[in-house]
């Protein structure tokens, strides 16, 4: 069974936070520049800050996860950070389980995730998804919009291999 999913990062709170920072920074810098007679150093600081935040916002809007379930294995790609898709062959996957956290844990953390040596987490949603236990002892947590469909596709392919 084939499965495709593309998830985009769209967090209105993050966008509002960046817009607030830009607005505050520009107003602060302009008021300081006006008070000191429109000093070029102040204006260049404002331009640099706006440029940095614009680049950060651009990168955040380009964040996406592509998930594919194929006969060869499970593929995922976190763009723009991964240049190529990561493939995990079915022979390396010990088991898969559906994960649905509590509502309280879904609201915490502004969708910020982490990775460690034992757990690699792919996603920026509400933490619902599929946890893959690999035969080497590591774990891959993949967040999904439709975790049940992803789980069913993985289970069918694991049963076939």
What pLDDT, in 10s, does the model give residues 133-155? 999 988 888 888 888 999 999 99
pLDDT at 92: 94
For the stretch 139-150, what's the b/e string if a residue is b when 16 or more beta carbons lie within 10 angstroms of its beta carbon?
Answer: ebbbbbbebeeb
What pLDDT, in 10s, does the model give residues 57-116? 777 778 888 999 999 999 998 887 778 889 999 999 999 998 876 555 555 544 444 444
pTM beyond 0.75, yes or no = no
pLDDT at 110: 45
Instruction: Dihedral sign for Cα 38, 39, 42, 46, please.
Output: positive
Architecture of domain 69-160 in this structure? Roll (2.30)
132, 140 contact by CB (below 8 A): yes
3-class DSSP state of 89: strand
Which of residues 86 and 41 earns the better pLDDT score? 86
């Amino acid at each position: 069974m084939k499965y495709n999913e593309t998830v985009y990062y769209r967090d209105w709170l993050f966008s509002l936070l960046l817009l607030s920072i830009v607005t505050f920074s520009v107003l602060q810098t302009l008021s300081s520049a006006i008070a000191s007679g429109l000093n070029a150093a102040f204006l260049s600081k404002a331009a640099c800050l706006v440029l940095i935040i614009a680049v950060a916002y651009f990168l955040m809007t380009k964040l996406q996860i592509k998930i594919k379930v194929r006969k060869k294995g499970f593929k995922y790609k976190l763009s723009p950070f991964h240049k190529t898709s990561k493939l995990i062959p079915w022979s390396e996957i010990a088991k898969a389980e559906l994960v649905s956290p509590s509502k309280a844990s879904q609201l915490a953390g502004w969708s910020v995730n982490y990775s460690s040596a034992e757990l690699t987490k792919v996603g920026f949603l509400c933490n619902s998804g599929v946890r893959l236990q690999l035969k080497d002892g590591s774990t891959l947590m993949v967040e999904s919009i439709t975790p049940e469909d992803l789980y069913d596709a993985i289970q069918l392919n694991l049963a076939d291999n």
